[in-house]
Chain A
Amino acid sequence: MKKFLTLALAIAVMAIGTLTAQAREQIRIVGSSTVYPFASYVAEEFGATTGKPTPVIESTGSGGGHKLFAAGTDLNTPDITNSSRRMKTKEFDKNMAIGNKKIVEIVIGYDGIAIAFNKANPDLNLTRKDLLLAVAAEVPVNGKLVANPYKRWNEINPALPAKPILVYGPPTSSGTRDAFEELVMEKASKKLAGYGKKKYSKIRQDGIYVPAGENDNLIVQKLAKDKNALGIFGYSFLEENSDRIKGAMVDGVKPIPANISSGKYPVSRSLFFYVKVDHLKKVPGLAEYVDMFLSEQMIGTNGLLKDIGLIPLPDADRTAVRTRWTKRQPLTKADLEHK
């Protein structure tokens, strides 16, 4: 009987014991849906070529990603968060408070924001002012702000075609919308006296600007069919559907990688991801994953990510990012405050 008792106890203790040996093997990544396709592409390459477990990438949106990232320091929290915008100081503070003292910020490239339309149309050259006046909720008329009366492009600018204005753009929950408002609307409104030289970013809601998801098959169909409609999308979207749609020139610059990369194309933003340095030791493969992401093969001028729509950084910036990474140089609040 005694023997039996000891045996049972031993089994119980052993069973409990195995759990402590369990450590996480997969890299966990969360964050922006814009960075998601690039990150998952690298993750897949990482899994396939190294034989290590493929990182798990969840598309939570930038905000959701930063929330999860700053939820704690333990291994139940993600190692990396992707972001289509820079970390906010508020988010940075939260990280500091919770104990994520060392975070490396990595810029992987640019995402151009393209103004796309049906390929059958002739090329189109829009200025940011045109775009602002087309989608703003209010426009200055005779020095006063009134509800946007424009229904056709040529009412805004006689040089533009006499076609009705119809714009499919990102919804308020999207980072692309954020970038569009900042880079197009605010930049243009600051130069216009009608807006009192102030930033203006309110978008009209009378059905001319239609909020639509970024990866929506229905929107491609719409653009492919409706020759009048414009779509505001990330460059990768344009790239993937280049047989059906093309991008408008903005301020006379074509949305091609060279122009976006060099900064000539005015509507582009940087894409980021943030790594927890403390997790590098605990999660196998994490450093290698970042190494692979930063390799020339991926984000280089002719890298694989370029094929799926990432605009590579200029050479100097790439080197700078790599240096920052190899030194594991942590992000500081000063970095974020200085633009």
Chain B
Amino acid sequence: MNKETRRLSIIKKRYRQENMFKFSAIFAIIIASSFLVFFLANISKTGYTAIQQTEILTEVTYNDATLKNTYRAVPRELSRLLSRGFLRLIPREVKANPELMGTTVTRWIVANAEVDQYMKEKPNRLKSKQIAIIEKLRAEGKIKKTLNTGFFYNGDSKLPEIAGILSAVVGTIYVMFLTMLFSVPIGVMTAVYLEEFAPDNWFTRTIEVNINNLAAIPSIIFGLLGLAIFINIFGVPRSSALAGGLTLALMTLPVIIITTRTALSSVPDNIRQGAQGVGASPWQVVWHHVLPLSLPGILTGSIIGLAQAMGETAPLLIVGMLAYIPEAPTGITDAATVLPAQIYTWSATSLRAYTERTALGIMVLLSVLLMLNAAAVMIRNKFERKW
């Protein structure tokens, strides 16, 4: 009986441990998810205000005095509340539309960042006199917050109110295009060689070990490589999309090779044998059978590799993409910046009006990355074949 009670107590204790263990496993996953929720909520909370931008309704006078000093175009008390991004363009506006000369137009104009910060109830450096003016405008309905479309069609700017992500987005597209152009064919070819053709000798093994090691090398070291090889030796222009794309391509290469190899090796051998049995040459076996069958896997791997490269910043800092580039690049050797680098530049600015824009930029980047990853998962689920 004594033995029996002891056994029962042991069982009880064991079940307690079992529950503890289960609970801690669930707890771990809850921590991870709640971090994600907290993180996303925090970024959204910081960034959502940047979706709106303050505008002021004012009269703009076009005359000779205006052209001399554009601050005179608007009522005196407003001249320091409006964005210089608009005022400095007046001479060009007049040049394009000479009939404006001598007229006065009433229109909504982007306010400067301090006013914007005030309207969003955030810290600002306005003086009490200026606040009184804004309050008066508010009472008259001459100040409002509208959708900040400029964020999407402007490039970077030193004036937070007109700073946008267009140039960074275009730069990202260029860089990603180049990364894809170099890394996908070379990666797939390497994988095909290693998986389908390579004999098992020291050469192949060296390559394999090498690829595994490349996958583990810190990204910043790829930046040093890009700087030393592409820029200093091959003379690729600094901060160009080409320099960034090449550097990221080398970084992405191992990812693509490894995923492609997995995809290739999952094609069963009897397909290869079947094709060889009807007289296909080794290359034809690969080209006609193995590659088409492993295409979804290759595609998924490439997308994941590119999504990774898209969020990468450190190597790009070293090859000079941390630059002030307000205009979208028009060629691959033009200076370009990418979204993560833009986010970094803005986050390092002490002007607080950039904080919300940084967060909004992050939201844009995250949505793109999430979509890419979702696409990869969809391709995987839709075409995945169990052999």
Contact = CB atoms under 8 A, between A and B. Distances in A.
B235 A76 contact: yes
A48 B239 CA distance: 22
A249 interface: no
Contacts of B292: none
A196 B62 CA distance: 67
A188 B238 CA distance: 42
Contact of B320 (A26, A60, A241, A243): A60
A277 interface: no
B92 interface: yes
A56 interface: yes
B322 A58 contact: yes
B65 interface: no
Interface stretch (B38-46, B324-332, B371-379): B324-332
B52 interface: no
B88 A58 contact: no
Interface stretch (B13-21, B206-214, B342-350): B342-350
B158 A41 contact: yes
Give the contact-size bracket for chain A: 35 or more
Contacts of B323: 56-59
B350 A240 contact: yes
Interface string B295-337: 0000000000000000000000000101111110000001100
Contacts of A48: 85, 88-89
A54 B88 contact: no
Best-buried of A30, A45, A58, A216 by chain B (most CB within 10 Å): A58
A54 B327 contact: yes
B288 interface: no
Contacts of B239: 56, 58
Contacts of B385: none
A242 B352 CA distance: 12
A58 B350 contact: no
Contacts, number: 75
Given A37-B158, A215-B348, A215-B350, A49 B320 contact: no
Contacts of B150: none
Interface in A6-56: 26, 28, 30, 36-37, 39-41, 43-45, 47-49, 51, 53-54, 56
B213 to A, nearest CB: 30
A68 B205 CA distance: 40
A44 B158 contact: yes
A220 interface: yes
Contacts of B349: 215
Contacts of A44: 157-159, 326
Give the contact-size bracket for chain B: 20 to 34
B123 interface: yes
A220 B123 contact: no
A49 B157 contact: no
A49 B327 contact: no
A298 to B, nearest CB: 12
A56 B324 contact: yes
Contacts of B325: 54, 56
B36 interface: no
Given A47-B326, A240-B351, A241-B350, A56 B158 contact: no
B324 A36 contact: yes
B133 to A, nearest CB: 19
Interface in B157-179: 157-159
Contacts of A43: 324, 326
A26 B334 contact: yes
A293 interface: no
Contacts of B320: 58, 60
Interface in A227-272: 237, 240-243
A53 B327 contact: yes
Interface in B51-99: 84-85, 88-89, 91-92
Contacts of B238: 30, 58, 68
Nearest to B325: A56
Contacts of B326: 43-44, 47, 54
A59 B237 contact: no
Best-buried of B159, B235, B238 by chain A (most CB within 10 Å): B238
Nearest to B70: A49
15 contacts: A30-B238, A40-B158, A41-B158, A44-B326, A49-B89, A49-B92, A56-B324, A58-B238, A59-B322, A213-B348, A215-B350, A217-B355, A240-B351, A242-B125, A243-B125
Given A26-B334, A49-B88, A217-B350, 12 more contacts: A28-B335, A36-B324, A37-B158, A40-B324, A47-B327, A49-B91, A49-B92, A54-B326, A68-B238, A217-B348, A220-B350, A240-B350
Interface of A: 26, 28, 30, 36-37, 39-41, 43-45, 47-49, 51, 53-54, 56-60, 68, 76, 213, 215-217, 220, 237, 240-243, 304, 308
The 8 closest A-B pairs by CB, nearest first: A58-B323, A56-B335, A40-B324, A57-B324, A41-B158, A54-B326, A54-B327, A215-B348
